[in-house]
Amino acid sequence: MFHKRCRTLTLLIFALVIFGIIMIRSASRVWAEAKFGDENYFMLRQLIFAGVGLVGMQICSRLPLEKIRTHIHKLYFLALLSLILVLIPGIGVLRNGSRSWFGFGSFLIQPSEFFKIAVILLVSQYLSKKHKIKSFRKDLLVPAIATMVGFALILLQPDFGSGIVMVCAIVVIILSADAPISYFVRVGVIGIIAMGGLILSAPYRLARITSFLNPWEDPLGAGFQIIQSLFAIAPGGILGSGFDQSMQKHFYLPEPQTDFIFAIIAEELGFIGCVILILLFACVIYQGAKIALSASEPFYCYVAVGLVSLFAIQVMINLGVVVGLFPVTGITLPFISYGGSSLVVMMSSMGLLMRIAKMEKSA
């Protein structure tokens, strides 16, 4: 049964990755030709990332998780160290106002993607040792500190979106551990106040909120991207304008192969194409949830919950941003958007899910 789930999950991931590569080719063709003189530039790089991600998925699906559990603290601190190093000028690469990447030639690696997995493993390990959560100070203070230290370092890059996705995934893990809802109410109030302060403290975050509320207030500045996204979605209709027939990718929607690629999908493939893509995402979430529910060992259950939550929350936020339900956050669409670190880490995390399923089968 679990091997069947692994096969189903693998087929779903392959379908999403292949679809993503095809749509990256379509969305980036004009931009890549103008900037690099090669309309296949982004597609070919995404193929390389997909190959690395496939290797990562295969490795993670065979990892000896029981042995790795003894080294989770080391993995966490290595990931934390990478978040510190990336902030140092000359080590971290500055791009679009954020120092979020390590540069290796023309390739970039985003350490925050790896930290998300490390903190999920750490929090899962910690909670698996608790029979029942009775006190926030005794039972949840360590996970909270471990998460918020990473969140603070990610904010310094700044990368508010990645930090929010990570925190939300950890909250879901803690909820699955039957933590009292009253803890989340109190923490939620503090979080809302803190988030308000963070938004007010950074002009670019405040601009994103105001542009979200009324993008036409600054149509050539902060509101430009969401307006162009909606201009792409609106003409798509039921069946779309046809593959590779997007108008918005002709320098209207900036870098359409990245965070806003769903707008191009809606324009070219229409409502039907969007529904099919969302159904594929839902199937991945469903398969992951079944693996989590079937895990008999709390650690594996929490890890599976965290990985599925990370995927689901990222999908939800990205789609919400593209259609104007959320402020712009810079969150990629898993398996679809162009980006090496995101694709490799997400495919590897699916490999971990498969490993958990296989372990339960052999148990």
Q: How many residues does the chain have?
A: 363
Task: Report whether the peptide linkage leading into residue 64 is cis, meaning its omega lies within 30 degrees of zero.
Answer: no
286-303: per-residue pLDDT in tens? Answer: 999 999 998 888 999 999
> Coil, strand or helix: which one is 97?
coil
CA separation, residue 30 to residues 33, 36, 66, 220, 357 (Å): 5, 10, 48, 21, 42
Using the structure block, give the residue that is written with the tokens 């890890």: 303
Q: Which two tokens stand for residue 14?
A: 């392959």
Q: How many helices and strands, by DSSP H and E, does the chain display?
A: 13, 3
Q: Which two tokens stand for residue 308?
A: 């599925």
Assess contact for 223 and 214: CB atoms under 8 A.
Answer: yes
95 — pLDDT class (breaks 50, 70, 90): confident
What is the predicted pLDDT for the residue at 2?
46
DSSP 245-294: --STTTTTSSSTTSTTHHHHHHHHHHHHHHHHHHHHHHHHHHHHHHHHHH
**Residue 94: strand pairing partners:** 99
Q: Which two tokens stand for residue 45?
A: 């790089």
Span 258-285, average pLDDT: 95
**Residue 92: strand pairing partners:** 89, 102
> Coil, strand or helix: which one is 297?
coil
196-241: per-residue pLDDT in tens? Answer: 776 666 666 666 677 777 777 777 777 788 889 999 998 888 999 9
- pTM attached to this predicted model: 0.90
Q: Which long-range contacts (CB under 8 A, 24 or more apart) does 242-248 make?
A: 242/268, 243/26, 243/268, 243/269, 244/26, 244/29, 244/268, 246/26, 246/27
61-93: per-residue pLDDT in tens? Answer: 998 888 888 899 999 999 999 999 999 888 888
* Amino acid type, 36: F
Instruction: Look at 6-10, 127-131, 289-293 and tell me which has the smallest mean pLDDT.
Output: 127-131
